[in-house]
Amino acid sequence: MRFMMIVIPKAHQTASQDAQPNVEGFTRMMEYNKSLEKAGVLLAMDGLTPPSGGARISFTDGNATVTDGPFAEAKETIGGYWIIQVRSREEAIEWAKRAPMDNNTIIEVRQIRGLADFPADVQDVLAKRYESLKKEAAANA
């Protein structure tokens, strides 16, 4: 079972684009990441720059509207994520509890949906797409 642990830091929206984590916090985070690696559960991870340099694209009736960060109206924005492979939801939660986080930071734990979890009709679409890909490849050969 794969889970994404999504970090929702406090005061992230207002942080400046070049805000850097402090050395102590960074060291603790590196130790935590190492513990995930040593336990063989870590598949991927990334940290994001603050939302002030980002953009939100919202969709209404097929139109895309771009809003530049910071996003005053957003209560929660994402600061980074880990993808871990564990045996259970409880194990993912236990790993999240061990993360070295600042006061009021939130980690949201969500299971990743695999292709096999899609309903049969969606899988059919995938299978047809593969068939057309094969024809295309044969035509190019």
Give the footprint of other proteins on this chain (CB under 8 A). Answer: 1, 37-44, 85-88, 90-91, 93-95, 98, 114-116, 120, 123, 126-127, 129-130, 133-134, 137-138, 141
Name residue, tokens 């979890």: 117
Token pair, residue 42, equals 């870590």
Shortest Å, Cβ 12 to other proteins: 26
Provide the total of helices (H) and of strands (E) in the chain, helices listed first: 3, 6
Q: Cβ closer to other proteins: 8 or 42?
A: 42
Name the residue nearer to other proteins (CB basis): 17 or 88: 88
CA angle 124, 128, 133 (to 5 degrees): 145
Please identify, using beta-carbon distances, which residue of 7 and 92 lies nearer to other proteins: 92
Quickly tell me which residue has 């924005």 as its tokens: 77
Nearer to other proteins, 64 or 116 (CB): 116
CB of 21 to other proteins, least distance (A): 24
Asked whether the beta carbons of 6 and 108 are under 8 A apart, the reply is: yes
